[in-house]
Amino acid sequence: MRNSRVIAAAATLLLVAGCSQTVEGTALPASFGGSGGQEFTKLLTECDAVSDEQIQETTGADAIARGFFGAICRWDLVGSAGTVKVTFNWFESGTLAAERAADEKMMYTVGDTTVQGRKAIQAQRPNDSASCGVSAGADRAGIFGWWVQYQPDAAHPDPCQAAAKLADLTLNLSR
């Protein structure tokens, strides 16, 4: 019993010693407000590119609830057309070519369009007139996209017009 304790203690010491390392410098708390690079200052604000009120107005909804926020942002809305699901994505290293290839691989109908004079694509699932997505090049780098999905069994506005309007509000080159 004593030998097994000694072996276990020795193994623990070897494990700790083998996994430890010394890092030179002074520890500083993580901060986005310091003098360092500013590339992450708005890391969690992409979902605010268009206000909740603008999303609600664009989709014709009466109420909105924010859902998941991260690389992909989601909202649930309710209005005269029933429930509406809205999704926003932004990929800082994405391309329209990659987005088109992914949409085509999923057998979506993909067409060329523009958002404020910039190349963009519009995608719809086959036989699904209740949902549509528009993706465009972001103002600095990468791509962003909006997907609007109304209830298929309810009368609803054109989801492609709503997605295009949200893309237009996102890019807003006039700012």
Looking at 26-100, which runs of residues are DSSP E strands? 61-66, 72-79, 82-91
Contact 106, 99 (CB under 8 A): no
Domain positions in the chain are 46-171
Helices within 31-71 (DSSP H only): 52-59
Q: Which of 1, 10, 99, 86 is nearest to 47 (CA)?
A: 86
Confidence of residue 175 (pLDDT cuts 50, 70, 90): very low
> What pLDDT does 41 receive?
46
Residue 133 carries which side chain, given as an amino acid letter?
G
What span, in angstroms and rounded, lies between the C-alpha atoms of 120 and 86? 18
Per-residue model confidence as pLDDT tens digits over 9-42? 555 554 455 555 566 766 544 433 334 444 444 5
Per-residue model confidence as pLDDT tens digits over 63-118? 999 887 777 899 999 998 899 999 999 888 899 999 999 999 999 999 999 999 89
> What pLDDT does 33 receive?
39
What pTM does this model have? 0.73
Just give the CATH number of 46-171: 2.60.120
